[in-house]
Amino acid sequence: MKIISEHIFTRENMKATIFNCGIFSVGFIKKDGSERHMNCRSVSNDKFFMGGELKGNREHLIEVIDLDALRKNPTQPTKAWRSIVLNSIFSLKIGGQQWVK
């Protein structure tokens, strides 16, 4: 397990890191204060939102597909879409390597 600095959790670094990795795991604190661990993949905005528009300032968020939710609703992939607040992330696991704050 690697302990990393805060700069890896910027939106640009996260997007660059997860874009080509396929499936990854993330641990974060939800709005209600509880911990959540999720297996997910990055969102392809062009295909996923089908012309929809994400409104407001989203610089502090990263959009992902929750793979467990996608398995439950395979015909409705938009129900698996999640936004994660970047500064709430405390762990990230990609390709067998794990980083923690």
Per-residue pLDDT in tens (0 to 9) along the chain, 101 residues:
555 555 566 667 777 777 777 899 999 999 999 999 999 988 765 555 554 566 667 777 888 899 999 999 888 887 888 888 888 988 888 888 887 87
Q: What Cα–Cα distance (Å) separates residue 18 from each residue in 42, 52, 68, 73?
A: 7, 22, 18, 23
Residue-range domain boundaries for the chain: 2-48+58-100
* Confidence at residue 28, expressed as pLDDT on a 0 to 100 scale: 94
Q: What's the rounded Cα separation, in Å, for the pair 32 and 11?
A: 22
- The CATH class of the 2-48+58-100 domain is mainly beta
